[in-house]
Amino acid sequence: MVILGIETTCDETAAAVVTRADDDSGRILSNVVLSQVSEHADYGGVVPEIAARAHVEALDRIIAMAMAEANCSFGTLDGVAAAAGPGLIGGLIVGLTTAKAIALVHNKPLMAVNHLEAHALTARLTEGTPFPYCLFLASGGHTQILGVRGVGDYLRLGGTVDDAIGEAFDKTAKLLGLGYPGGPLVEKEALDGDAARFALPRPMSGRHDADFSLSGLKTALRLEAEKIAPLSNQDVADLCASFQQAVVDVVMDRLRSGLRMFRDRIGNPSALVCAGGVAANQAIRKVLHRIAFEAGTELVAPPPALCTDNGAMIAWAGAERLALGLTDTLDAVPRPRWPLDQVVRTVPGQRNH
Ligand code: KG4
Ligand code: ZN
């Protein structure tokens, strides 16, 4: 089957065409991503109103590019998928309404996909990873540990109670005047820094659950920075290194706990899968390899372009759902909040609630 996927939940306008064969294997025919980073850079974060307007302006063109690159016409598609949440409401309306229009005009099935489900299933597109596996999703908007048991069958093992990890990196970078997005800039500074110079907390460490809390760490960093201001270049590097080390330690502790919960509730995972922009961080990546090894499994990391937001993951999640007959009607609603454990395997033709 051939599926068009549309992604507009945050600050990427993206469309892609993906195929899924009867043996479950996937292939990406096109994957076009337009980043709005430069439009939000001055504000140190995503501005919802700017994002929504940029999606309206760009989406038709991005879809046309994805269709042309895949050498495909709307008539030859088997279905249209759009991310219907969670995300910023303006962008969700733009993407989902566009998908509905294409589905209606060309009489194709519509799949209103959960963005987190799409991240969760990407490893099956790129690596054919079998169920069940443990997913560590860490981006600017999300930090979650999930048991992925099947399509539409997710067990939330843990998540952040306040900031996402990427958000904490972004706020740290903003505080230190480094720019946006902050993750890669903090990582670069940390290379020249002393990770032991500042004693920052490791929030939630040692707890039996698999939850994260990042806002206290951010505050502790701000207090340390204020104590020694004005900051030299070395101070900035040391603060970045100390911050990153605290995050690495927290990830290690929380994921160990998450994998223990996975084994207790589900059994042995076929893999530890990482997704989201934060997984690009080399120090974090290293610790993920170590945790997977300790747990007797392997780390699966889809290529960076597919770990961050893109249309191919939405198209693939749509294909996985369509293969099971899980489609949505034209009254599917955009859902700014949509926890993954509320994604259900709906009866065909019924609303995906
Ligand atoms: O998945 P993503 O591209 O977009 C969404 O948030 O949906 O993730 C972007 C986030 C940003 O917060 C960015 O600072 C963070 O991922 N990030 C990193 C690194 N590269 C990107 N965080 C730490 N280290 C990195 N190298
Ligand atoms: Zn995402």
User: Model confidence over 98-117: pLDDT tens digits?
Assistant: 999 999 999 999 999 999 99
pLDDT given at position 217: 96
For residues 153-162, average pLDDT: 96
Q: Is the dihedral of CA 311, 314, 316, 318 positive or negative?
A: negative
User: Model confidence over 269-280: pLDDT tens digits?
Assistant: 999 999 988 998
User: Model confidence over 124-157: pLDDT tens digits?
Assistant: 999 999 999 999 999 988 999 999 999 999 999 9
Residue 146 backbone phi and psi in degrees, to 5: -130, 145
352 lines ligand 1 (CB under 6 A): no
11 lines ligand 1 (CB under 6 A): no
For residues 65-81, average pLDDT: 98
Structure tokens at 305: 């372009």
pLDDT given at position 340: 85
Number of H helices, E strands in the chain: 11, 10
Question: Which pTM does this prediction carry?
Answer: 0.92
**How many other C-beta atoms can be found within 10 angstroms of the C-beta atom of residue 73?**
10
Residue 331 neighbours by CB under 8 Å, 6+ apart: 351
For residues 342-352, average pLDDT: 56
pLDDT given at position 49: 87
Mean pLDDT (the chain) is: 94
Examine the pLDDT at 353 and tell me if it is beyond 60.
no
Examine the pLDDT at 348 and tell me if it is beyond 60.
no
The alpha helices in the chain, defined as continuous H runs, are 37-40, 48-69, 89-105, 115-126, 165-175, 182-190, 215-228, 233-265, 282-294, 304-307, 311-323
CB 26 within 8 A of CB 317: no
Q: How far apart are CA 350 and CA 331, in angstroms?
A: 10
pLDDT given at position 46: 84
CA distance between the termini of the chain: 25
Examine the pLDDT at 347 and tell me if it is beyond 70.
no
91 lines ligand 1 (CB under 6 A): no
309 lines ligand 1 (CB under 6 A): yes
Examine the pLDDT at 349 and tell me if it is beyond 70.
no
pLDDT given at position 345: 67
Separation of CA 309 and ligand 2 centre (Å)? 5
Which residues lie across from 15 on neighbouring strands?
Answer: 6, 32
Structure tokens at 208: 């039996």
169 lines ligand 1 (CB under 6 A): yes
Smallest-distance ligand from the CA of 139 = 1
Could you give the angle at which helices 165-175 and 182-190 cross, rounded to 10 degrees?
Answer: 70
Matching residue, tokens 């509730």: 265
Closest Cα to atom 19 of ligand 1: 183
Higher model confidence: residue 203 or residue 47? 203
Separation of CA 137 and ligand 2 centre (Å)? 8
- Closest by CA position to 79, among listed 115, 116, 106: 106
Structure tokens at 173: 């970078």
User: Model confidence over 246-304: pLDDT tens digits?
Assistant: 999 999 999 999 999 999 999 999 999 999 889 989 999 999 999 999 999 999 999 98
Structure tokens at 43: 């504000």
